[in-house]
Chains A and B, each alone.
Chain A
Amino acid sequence: MTGKRWVFISTLAIMGLLLFVPSFHNDYINLTFRNILMYAAMSYGWNLIGGYTGYVSFGNVAFFGIGAYCSAVLSKTGVDNVFADVGLALVVCALFAIVVGLPILRLRGHYFGIATLGVALGLTDLANNLDFVGGSGGLNLKQADQAHFYLYYYAMWAVTLVCMLATFFIARSKLGYAFVAIRENEEAAQVLGISPTRYKVIAWALGGMMGGAAGAVFAPANGFVDPGTAFAVDNNVFPIAMAILGGMGTASGPFIGALLLSGVNEILQEKFLWLHSLFFGAIIVLIVVFLPRGLMYLVGLRGGVRRWLSDLRAFRV
Chain B
Amino acid sequence: MQLFLQNLVNGILSGGILALVALGFSLVYGIMNIINLAHGAYIMLGAYLAWQLFTSFHVDPMLSVPLAFVVLFAFGYVVQRTVINRVVRAPVLATFLLTFALSLVFVTIALFIWTGDTRGVQTSYAGANFTLAGVTVPWAKLLTLVVALVITGLLYLWLHRSKTGRAIRATSMDVGAAQMVGVRVAHVYGITYGLGAGLAGAAGALLTLSYPLTPTMGDPFLIKGFVVCVLGGLGSVEGALVGGLVYGIISSFATQFDVTILGQHLSGTGLQDVVALIVLLLVLIVRPRGLVGRATA
A110-B29, A129-B267, A292-B91 known; A115+B280 contact, CB < 8 A:
yes
Q: Which of B2-10, B61-69, B226-234 contacts A (4 or more CB under 8 A)?
A: B226-234
Consensus secondary structure, chain B interface: helix
> Is B186 in contact with chain A by the CB < 8 A criterion?
yes
Q: Which of A195-217 contact B (CB under 8 A)?
A: none
Q: Which of A19-27, A117-125, A173-181 contacts B (4 or more CB under 8 A)?
A: A117-125
> Is A147 in contact with chain B by the CB < 8 A criterion?
no
In this complex, which of B85, B102, B103, B108 has the most chain A Cβ atoms within 10 angstroms of its Cβ? B108
> Is B112 in contact with chain A by the CB < 8 A criterion?
yes
A284 to B180, CA, bound (A): 34
The residue in chain B whose Cβ has the minimal distance to the Cβ of A276 is: B108
The residue in chain B whose Cβ has the minimal distance to the Cβ of A129 is: B270
A118-B281, A285-B83 known; A277+B108 contact, CB < 8 A:
yes
The residue in chain B whose Cβ has the minimal distance to the Cβ of A311 is: B90
Q: Which of B250-297 contact A (CB under 8 A)?
A: 264-267, 270-271, 273-274, 277-278, 280-281, 284-285, 288-290
A-B contacts counted at CB < 8 A amount to 149
Determine if A118 and B227 form an interchain contact, defined as CB atoms under 8 angstroms apart: yes
A110-B230, A121-B273 known; A277+B104 contact, CB < 8 A:
yes
A-chain residues with CB within 8 Å of residue B97 when the two chains form the complex = 240-241, 244-245, 284, 288
A-chain residues with CB within 8 Å of residue B189 when the two chains form the complex = 317
A121-B223, A281-B101 known; A56+B288 contact, CB < 8 A:
no
**Distance of B124 from chain A, by nearest CB (Å):** 35
A188 to B107, CA, bound (A): 44
Determine if A128 and B270 form an interchain contact, defined as CB atoms under 8 angstroms apart: yes
Q: A48-61 CB contact bits vs B (8 Å, 1 = yes)?
A: 00100000100000
The residue in chain A whose Cβ has the minimal distance to the Cβ of B85 is: A317
- Total A residues in contact with B, Cβ cutoff 8 Å: 50
Determine if B219 and A131 form an interchain contact, defined as CB atoms under 8 angstroms apart: no
A-chain residues with CB within 8 Å of residue B112 when the two chains form the complex = 274-275, 278
Q: Which of A71-79, A89-97, A100-108, A154-162 contacts B (4 or more CB under 8 A)?
A: A100-108
A280 to B108, CA, bound (A): 10
Determine if B226 and A114 form an interchain contact, defined as CB atoms under 8 angstroms apart: yes
> Is A315 in contact with chain B by the CB < 8 A criterion?
yes
A292 to B92, CA, bound (A): 10
A244 to B96, CA, bound (A): 10
B-chain residues with CB within 8 Å of residue A139 when the two chains form the complex = none
A-chain residues with CB within 8 Å of residue B143 when the two chains form the complex = none
7 A-B pairs with CB atoms under 8 Å apart are: A118-B277, A129-B267, A240-B97, A281-B102, A293-B90, A293-B94, A312-B86
Interface residues of B (CB under 8 A from A): 29, 35, 83, 85-98, 100-105, 107-109, 111-112, 175, 185-186, 189, 219, 223, 226-227, 230, 234, 264-267, 270-271, 273-274, 277-278, 280-281, 284-285, 288-290
Interface residues of A (CB under 8 A from B): 50, 56, 103-104, 106-108, 110-111, 113-115, 117-119, 121-122, 125-126, 128-132, 233, 237, 240-241, 244-245, 248, 274-275, 277-278, 280-285, 288-289, 292-293, 312, 314-317
